[in-house]
Amino acid sequence: MIYIAPSLLSADFAHLEAEIKRMENAGANYLHLDVMDGLFVPNITFGAPVISALRPHSKLIFDVHLMIQDPIRYIDDFVKAGADIITVHLESCADPRAALNAIREKELRCALAISPATPVEQLIPYLSEIDMALIMTVVPGFGGQKLIPETLEKVRTVRRYAESHHLKLDIEVDGGIKPDNIHLLTEAGANIIVAGSAIFCSKRPRSVIASMRETAAEHPYKK
């Protein structure tokens, strides 16, 4: 099944509650929450207090993507804020397994992300220990970028590995994804699709999400 995760980074920050309700009504499955610290990536967004404030107003799965340095320091904060999934970056962790263990100990789904510059081979040793792999399809830090085509092969590599090792693994992709290119990601093996401006900036987000799902169904994973 394909899951659609609108990225709050592209929402109208003056009306976050209304924007989230708009995504729920449009048929989104997840809400992707990009937390940036200005250190790991050159941008600052929001933190646990904002997520905590939004949590009572939504039944969507809160997919919290920590683009922060040494994220293990803040796992408890995001658990308390209401995260359902917590993703940490391989590149930002001194000890990735310690961070993943800290998430699992709180009985949350744990995920590990890699940026476009990171070889996919560095992610492979962790695949049996996570619920989801996040392949960044743009350089993390800002919305509105174009998808980097070379990242598609990383998605294929991870899906092939998961299948050959009988792993029940979600593969999420994030960055530059729109109705006219989602087929590239689903054919490569992704099943959780993050999209920001393509959904939030549309006056008809339900139509956008429906179009993405339809295209994804027409272009399943190709082995």
pLDDT of residue 203: 95
Could you report the average pLDDT of every consecutive run of 10 residues in the chain (223 residues)? 96 97 98 97 96 97 98 98 98 97 98 98 98 96 86 98 98 96 98 96 97 97 89
One of 12, 95, 174, 180 is an active-site residue; which one?
Answer: 174
Respond yes or no: is residue 174 known to be catalytic: yes
pLDDT of residue 147: 96
pLDDT of residue 145: 84
One of 34, 37, 131, 170 is an active-site residue; which one?
Answer: 34
Respond yes or no: is residue 70 known to be catalytic: no
Tokens of 157: 């590599």
Report the distance separating Cα 64 and Cα 193, nearest Å. 14
Place of tokens 């476009």: 116
pLDDT of residue 183: 98
Crossing angle of the two packed helices 16-26 and 205-218, in degrees rounded to 10 = 40
